[in-house]
Amino acid sequence: MSSSGPAQRAQSSPSVRATEPELFVNRELSFLEFHQRIVEEAADPAVPLLERLKFVAIVGANLDEFFMVRVAGLKQQQKSGVLEAGPDKMLPKEALPAVLARVARQAQETERILLGEVLPALRAQGIGVYAVEELPEEARRGLQTKFEHQVFPMLTPLAVDPGHPFPFLKNRTLNLAIHLVPERSQDEISPLLAMVQVPPLLPRFVDVDMPGDLAVVPIERVIKAHVGQLFPGMKILECVPFRVIRNWDLSFDEDEQEDLLDTVQKELRKRWRLDAVRLEISAEASTELVEQLHGALDLTLADVYRQAGPLALVDFGKLPARVGRSDLRDEPFQPVRSLDLRDGEDLFLAIARADLLLHHPYESYEPVVDLLERAAKDPAVLAIKQTLYRVNRESPILRSLIQAAENGKQVTALVELKARFDEEINVEWARLLEKAGVHVVYGMIGLKTHCKVTLVVRREAAGIRRYVHLGTGNYNEQTATIYSDLSFFTARTDVCDDISALFNLLTGYSSPPIWKKLVVAPLSLRQRVLEHIDTAKDAAKKGGKAKIIFKSNALIDPKIIRALCKAAQHGVEVILLIRGPCTMRVGIPGLSERIVVRTVVDRFLEHSRIFYFNKNGQEDVFITSTDVMPRNFDRRIEVMLPIEDERQRRRIVDEILALELQDNTKAAVLSPDGTYRRVHPAEGQKPVRAQAELIQLAKKRAREGFGAGGTEKRKKDKKKSR
């Protein structure tokens, strides 16, 4: 039986029609199916216990953000009567109940994993999360002493009646709702309602004196056990913890604002009072109490989530750091220094000698921090320019910018004030930077600046020289230890010219130049990607071989999805490594049956963005800050850079992409029904865990003394030994 070639297959393949709703999955439902992979990691008995607890916390954090943004958006659309559907053709009124039902099932499964598996197994290892009732008498007395001295003075009982309005409840904070009656009341009366808000300054988990490595009681259970002390003379009928999730999106017209920084600060203050979208409450709450709460918050019963265990699962992420049990964690790993950077060599000399490509967190993020620290102190450095999207609250990079300005250098920082969930930190840094003399700008009206670039201008013996860092991840040295990202350093004139022009575009009124190497959104990035897809398609149509690999955090853009389907129909091999939501439905005959979508969920967050195109052996490799989403192409400043050094291309293609494609331990493949099917080694096949392989490769290079460019060094060493 003979197999047909690409050209033959192309003749029998229909082209994608312009509007194919069956090709698209609802974005929110797609995210939840990816999110199920995180739930599965929490459930996996092969994952160390403390790592399972970490995944439970990630589930909680992700669902909080999902409701604050995506569900809040659906609710607003439904309330406004929006009748415009996305590519999947689901209206908001249809999508919302489907989303809420899927979340409910996911939340129940996560709670079962936490209460039925993870916490009991941790307790057996001497790490216990207890209810007050479970404590022995001596531990309970110690807890009461802590409550009276450390907790009670910070609490405020709040009556709710005609003279005391329902209190404002901040987003994601813990509260207790109480039904109570006077102790001396002989008649059956309706219970009174009261509240106690848990101050955020209190510890989330209170230590108790018990045998083992760690014993804690959630703060809300501590307060509940002693809440009667706040209401003397009253009989407590019920006291249940609850929390509220609110809409968290900023909304304002940038065109109408004279001072964007002041506007964002004002909007942040308003944000606490945005509409509630979700009520989490203890499962033991009475129907009457639940009705009172959801009525006061203008929510429906569909927005109420009863939980048998502790609320705010995200807070469980604080516990692993308090336990020193390496046997309950992933194998420890310390990022290695890239051996393309010689010991003691000045970083500017290293970059001037050759372009550098670093793969974090396997290779240390220190060179990125070092670049700014050196630039701040170096008398030869004249100017520094940097874009800032998500930064650490104690960022050494921003401290370096302040120091550089204080040292008299020209420093420009483009701070993105509208970076969702990081607006407050960015506003604080913007004020500090301005105070130090840094020239702070906030980008272009209507666009978020999402690219991650730094430009350092230095006076050298041969004249003015520029140095560039471009990353796929944020300037945040904390997340750089848990996010998989790429850093690229260069002093090449063509790239430096483009980065200089990019900053001129962002800070001034210059027109877009003819870019030498960069591809920039929203100017031409989508169009360039489409052109590469079309070129691959044309190569396959003519009987050649063509391949496309995308590594991205999301695949949502309809134009790109349709173009990929057309390319696949004509024989292009299309493999998509998508960490998060993917709105393409795979396996549809005549549309997407030849496309493979994979995702890897492991100890590090897959965050690097790579586009790979192969047309008859001609390879084009790009790194970028963009995800395949309409907002990134149309409403953000993004950059894409070709990797032209063959050694670096081979590392990206043969190491980073290849290992992820080989992963049969932590990978999953998207199925036609929109769910992910976990990949397992075939019989006799070697298990491959991509991130573990990359860790071992980094350690091996460090031991043997050669980096990504070490092949040449090893050859020289062999010659010397002869």
DSSP string, 326-359: GGGSSPP--PBPPTTS-TT--HHHHHHHS-EEEE
How many Å apart are CA 433 and CA 315, to the nearest integer? 31
Q: Is 410 domain-assigned?
A: yes
Q: Are both 447 and 466 inside the same structural domain?
A: yes
Q: Is the pLDDT of residue 139 over 70?
A: yes
Q: Write down the H helix ranges in 366-492.
A: 366-377, 396-406, 423-436
Where is the domain boundary, 493, 517, 541? Answer: 517
Q: Give the 3-state secondary structure of residue 598.
A: strand
Q: What is the DSSP string of 275-312?
A: PEEEEEEETT--HHHHHHHHHHTT--GGGEEEESS-S-
Convert the pLDDT of each residue in 184-238 to its tens digit. 876 778 899 999 999 999 999 999 999 999 999 999 999 999 999 999 999 999 9
**Cα–Cα distance measured from residue 623 to residue 519, given in angstroms and rounded to the nearest whole number:** 10
Query: d(Cα 287, Cα 293) in Å, to the nearest integer?
Result: 10
Domain range for 458 is 357-517
281, 235: one domain: yes
Assign 416 a pLDDT band (cuts: 50, 70, 90): confident
For helices 423-436 and 260-271, what crossing angle results, to 10°?
150
Residues 581 and 705 in one domain: yes
Asked whether residue 351 is assigned to any structural domain, the reply reads: no
For residue 569, what is the enclosing H or E element? helix 558-569
User: Which of the residue ranges 11-25, 234-248, 528-542 would you say has the lowest mean pLDDT?
Assistant: 11-25
Distances in Å between the Cα of 258 and the Cα atoms of 173, 261, 317, 445 are 33, 9, 41, 11
User: Looking at the predicted structure, is the pLDDT value of residue 12 above 70?
Assistant: no
Count structural domains, the chain: 3
CATH number at residue 419: 3.30.870.10
- The residue with tokens 């490595």 is 213
| Residue 79 pLDDT | 84
Looking at residue 310, what is its pLDDT? 93
Q: Kindly report the backbone phi and psi dihedral angles of residue 509, in degrees, each rounded to the nearest multiple of 5, phi listed first.
A: -115, 20
d(CA 518, CA 416): 21
Whether 439 is a known active-site residue: answer no
Please check whether residue 340 lies inside any domain of the structure: no
221-230, 428-437, 495-504, 515-524: segment of lowest average pLDDT: 428-437
pLDDT of 75 strictly over 50: yes
Rounded alpha-carbon distances, angstroms, from residue 304 to 28, 111, 285: 19, 15, 11
For 157, 164, 293, 547, the CA distances from 227, given in Å and listed in that order, are 9, 19, 19, 64
pLDDT (average), residues 278-294: 96
Q: Are 265 and 392 within one domain? A: no
Contact 464, 442 (CB under 8 A): no
User: Active-site residue among 359, 450, 532, 607?
Assistant: 450
pLDDT of residue 6: 37
Cα–Cα dist 52/7, whole Å: 48
- Using the 3D structure, point to which of 501, 517, 533 is the last residue of a domain: 517
Residues 185 and 142 in one domain: yes
| Domain endpoint, select from 479, 501, 517 | 517
Tell me, yes or no, whether 31 lies in a domain: no
pLDDT of residue 719: 42
Residue 17 included in any domain? no
For 321-349, what is each residue's pLDDT tens digit? 999 899 999 998 999 999 888 887 899 99
Residue 591 confidence class, pLDDT cut points 50, 70, 90? confident
Q: Which two tokens mark 412? A: 């420009």
Taking alpha carbons only, the member of 241, 252, 304 closest to residue 274 is 252
For residues 464 and 506, state if they share a domain.
yes
What percent of the chain shows pLDDT beyond 90? 78
pLDDT-derived band of residue 418, with 50, 70 and 90 as boundaries? low
Whether residue 451 sits in one domain with residue 536: no
User: Given this model, what pLDDT does residue 590 score?
Assistant: 85
Question: Which residues are 484's β-sheet partners?
Answer: 606
277 and 229 share one domain: yes
Q: What is the pTM of this model?
A: 0.89
Give pLDDT, residue 174: 97
In-domain check, residue 487? yes
In a domain, 337, yes or no: no
Considering the domain architecture, whether residues 433 and 526 belong to the same structural domain is answered as: no
Q: What is the pLDDT of residues 230-275, one digit of tens each?
A: 999 999 999 999 999 998 875 544 444 445 566 556 655 555 557 8
Whether residues 499 and 528 fall in one domain: no
Q: What is the mean pLDDT of residues 58-75?
A: 94
Whose tokens are 């002869």? That residue is: 722
Q: Is the pLDDT of residue 598 over 50?
A: yes
Q: What are phi and psi of 673, to 5 degrees?
A: -80, 5
Co-location of 513 and 525 in the same domain: no
pLDDT score for 277: 94
Indicate if 443 and 415 belong to the same structural domain: yes
What angle do helix axes 49-65 and 92-113 make, rounded to 10 degrees?
A: 160
669 is a domain residue: yes
* pLDDT for residue 255: 46
Task: Decide if pLDDT at 467 tops 80.
Answer: yes
Residues for the chain: how many in total? 722
Question: Residue 2 pLDDT > 90, yes or no?
Answer: no
Q: What is the CATH number of the domain that holds 229?
A: 3.30.1840.10
Q: Which helix (H) or strand (E) holds 175?
A: strand 174-182
User: What pLDDT is recorded for position 259?
Assistant: 57
